[in-house]
Amino acid sequence: MASEKIKVLTDADFGDSVKSGVVLVDFWATWCAPCRRLEPTVDQLAEDYTGRITVAKVDIDENPMTPGKFHVRGIPTLLLFKDGDLKETIVGLETKDKLAQLIDKHL
């Protein structure tokens, strides 16, 4: 189950949601097995960084515009935004420690 600390974003509210602060977005789909594997890691990051960053996810089946806009052609992909600017793109699985390092760079 996804953590309650994770914000569910859609094509409609994506732009506004990444405008300020550091936002980590997980692009996923229900049929994507590696995405399910990454889920606990993302949940854990949401817990660890509560109040410091926003952790969000986008279901690409229901929201095709946003992945298209950011050239996402594989999942899982994590995008890290700071004040609306795309700072990091992480394709595929990655450990929590490595992801934490990437987040820390932008805090």
Partner 1 sequence: MSSERQVIIIGSGPAGLTAALYAARANLKPLVIEGVEAGGQLMLTTMVENWPGYRDGIMGPDLMTEMRAQAVRFGAEIVQGDVTAVDLSQRPFAVTMGKTRHLAQTLIVATGASAKWLDLGVDKKLSGRGVSTCATCDGFFFKGRPVAVVGGGDTAMEEAIYLSKLATSVTVIHRRDTLRASKVMQDKAMSMPNISFIWNTEVIDIKDIDKGEVTSLVLRNIPTGETSELAVDGIFIGIGHVPNTALFKGQLAMHDNGYLKTHDGSRTSVSGVFAAGDVQDHIYRQAVTAAGSGCMAAIDAERFLSGTLHESHQTVEAGL
Catalytic site positions: 32, 35
| 3-class DSSP string for 17-78 | HCCCCEEEEEEECCCCHHHHHHHHHHHHHHHHCCCCCEEEEEECCCCCHHHHHCCCCCCCEE
The amino acid occupying position 84 is G
CB of residue 20 to partner 1, shortest distance in Å: 25
SS3 86: strand
Residue with smaller CB distance to partner 1, 16 or 61: 61
Closest CA to 39 of 50, 49, 27: 27
Binding positions for partner 1, 76-95, rule CB under 8 A: 76-77, 89, 91-95
Binding positions for partner 1, 18-77, rule CB under 8 A: 29, 31-37, 40-41, 60-61, 67, 71-77
CB of residue 73 to partner 1, shortest distance in Å: 4
What does the binding site for partner 1 look like in residue numbers (CB under 8 A)? 29, 31-37, 40-41, 60-61, 67, 71-77, 89, 91-97
